Amino acid sequence: MTGENLADAIEANTNTHIRAFVAEWAAITLPDRIEVVNAADDARLIREALDDGTLLPAGAGRYYSRSHVTDTARSEERTVVATADPADRGVYNNWRLASEVKHEVTERMRGASRGKTMYVVPYLMSPPGTPLEAYAAGVELTDDRNVVLQMIRMARVGMEYLSGLADPSMFVRGVHVTGDLDTLGQGTAADQRLFATIADERTILHFGSAYGGNALLGKIAHGLRLASYDGRRSGKFLAEQYLVLGIVDCETGERRHVCGGFPSASGKTNLAMTLPPEALSDRYRVEFYGDDIAWLWVDEQGQLRGFNPENGVFGVAKDTNTATNPTAMAAIGEGSGAIFTNTAYNELSHDVWWEGLTPEPPADTEGWLDWTGAPIAERSLADTNLPWAHPNSRFTISLDQVPNIAADVHAPEGVVIDAVIYGGRTRDREPLVRAITDAAEGVYDGLTLGAEATFAAEGLDGQLRYDPMSMRPFMSYAEGDYAAHWLEIIGRVTEQPIFAHVNWFQRDEHGGYLWPGYRENLRALLWLSDYREGRATGRRTAVGVVPHPDELDLTGLPIEEARVEQLLHIDTARWQEEIAHRATHLEQFVRMPGEIWTAHARVAAALNEPSPASPPGAEAPDRQANR
């Protein structure tokens, strides 16, 4: 589109700052056309994508897309946070100087959208009218139609969301240019991909990918990295990679809300979308708010509140099935508008399949293509064991497709957060659940959150790969300052939420899981609520309060008493090893607050004191067998 047509393209928008932003980047990237989109354009854009083959039908009202074979996941090593202040450098945020990064990425984008359409995607990363709305507005410029379709599912898209900004210039400026994925040299010294969040200028510049985590700028770059920076700079809020769920006691009417962080492969989405155990389903209802991001703040009454800034779910398909996540399976059914990416696809029946959807792949391979587009039936014997779907294959749906969506998910006031939980995959140290009543100790526990590393994979036998608050890939400023901001926010709360750590992944001496997981996990959260409300006393240990076995509601769950005791056991020797690893972990961060070190010292001292860490007669699990 030529310059004189630009005003026509956004004539409905009177915000001169948006016009200037679009004009500046149109002159740099040189698209042939400019198109402003809103959610109402979804059906037309779907038809265009089906017509040109960038989308394929996947059953009634569902769609399939296939990305470039080199472009299938976030690239942390190519992702940077840039500011003008070197004090923002952290251990994990790949900090660089803003002036250098802006020049580099701008030069790579120059002329890179020739022959394409620049889509202007105005969006809001919050329910309208929230106290944090000033930080939620954004405009993404992208040259990829599929990115637009997924943004429509993941955010509130439309110029109307930006028409009433108190400060018309107060919106996040995001530019996404796909680039030529055949020639970018991914994984080589000549790799040209660069994904930059210029945090102190509220600008996002991503070049060299069309994968969702790199290209949906409202999601991770804005909703996590930039929002986290905004939250600290304003002093008003926290932006975390947290789920949010609600638990309703249908007998008493009591409603509780839980948020929390889980590193990769630790069960976050399954928990966010969980249902009550079958035996407890008449009494309890679980309500879904979000599976990936929460913004948290303290209201005028001193309550911790939160909401999910997204308007959709960008879920991992692998291992999603009717047993592990029946809610997700119902949400992505026919008519859902779901977009599947990089699963296997049947070009005859238009079915999709991924590992874990069924115990075995379809026996009849006719028409089936793997995630690269190669026919399954033509595979050689050597390729028999190759996956059909990419391990990071995805589905994208809007929130309104989730069957147990909370009625107040779009409430501008958010919900009161009653519990903040953390959970990592750990086989022999973390109990099923342990409550933490001290706020600083709860923040300390989040900062030392991790998932188990094996010797073969990491060379860290017995240690965890630490992932503070599950934010390791999304940190936007120094970790010590991040901890201080957490303490400042939580220190304003007059009625503290309960903190807790949960673990569904303990193993027995044969390597089997001690706990059945999935829907049964709600039982641990029900105990946590009972403990917070004084209906349970628990057993105090050096690392928190664990349930007495008879305090867990195990109705309808056939589980041996000895197994329950093992699930709740605290292995002091293993914890003493862990506390040394935590000290090493925390020492790498500058400006770590004294309150965190005090909490660390308190736990370390308690572990060295004689305490009834086990019920009488209980035997400690075999440490070697449980590694």
The C-alpha atoms of residue 417 and residue 395 are separated, in whole angstroms, by: 28
pLDDT for 383 equals: 87
CATH of 418-607, one of 3.40.50.720, 3.90.228.20, 2.60.40.10, 2.60.120.560: 3.90.228.20
Distances in Å between the Cα of 82 and the Cα atoms of 25, 91, 98, 476, 573 are 19, 14, 5, 9, 42
Residues 6+ apart with CB under 8 A from 175: 25, 29, 109, 140, 141, 203, 204, 205, 206
User: What is the CATH T-level fold of the domain 3-52+77-236, as seen in this structure?
Assistant: Phosphoenolpyruvate Carboxykinase; domain 1 (3.40.449)
Q: Quick one: 79 exposed, middle or buried, by C-beta within 10 A (0-12, 13-18, 19+)?
A: buried
More confident residue, 136 or 3: 136
The number of residues in the chain equals 627
Distance between start and end Cα atoms, the chain: 61
pLDDT band at 169; cut points 50, 70, 90:
very high
Query: Which part of the chain is CATH 2.170.8.10?
Result: 314-399
Give tens-digit pLDDT for 253-286: 999 999 999 998 888 999 999 999 999 999 999 9
Q: What average pLDDT does this structure show over 516-537?
A: 97
Tokens 């779901």 map to which residue? 338
pLDDT for 246 equals: 98
More confident residue, 436 or 627: 436
For the beta carbon of residue 574, count every other beta carbon within 10 angstroms: 19
Q: What average pLDDT does this structure show over 591-612?
A: 92
> What mean pLDDT is reported for the chain?
92
Residue 627 predicted with pLDDT over 50 = no
Residue 344 predicted with pLDDT over 80 = yes
The C-alpha atoms of residue 560 and residue 241 are separated, in whole angstroms, by: 35
Residue 223 predicted with pLDDT over 70 = yes
The C-alpha atoms of residue 470 and residue 424 are separated, in whole angstroms, by: 9
pLDDT for 5 equals: 52
pTM of this structure: 0.94
Q: What average pLDDT does this structure show over 146-170?
A: 95
Query: Which part of the chain is CATH 3.40.449.10?
Result: 3-52+77-236
Residue 625 predicted with pLDDT over 50 = no
Residue 252 predicted with pLDDT over 50 = yes
pLDDT band at 349; cut points 50, 70, 90:
very high
Query: Which part of the chain is CATH 3.90.228.20?
Result: 418-607
pLDDT for 486 equals: 98
Q: What average pLDDT does this structure show over 319-332?
A: 96
The C-alpha atoms of residue 49 and residue 52 are separated, in whole angstroms, by: 5
The C-alpha atoms of residue 467 and residue 483 are separated, in whole angstroms, by: 13
Q: What average pLDDT does this structure show over 81-100?
A: 98
Give tens-digit pLDDT for 383-413: 888 999 999 999 999 999 999 999 999 999 9
For 322-326, 426-430, 492-496, 549-553, which range has the lowest pLDDT when averaged over its residues? 426-430
**256 strand-pairing partners:** 247
CATH of 314-399, one of 2.170.8.10, 2.30.40.10, 3.40.50.300, 2.60.120.200: 2.170.8.10
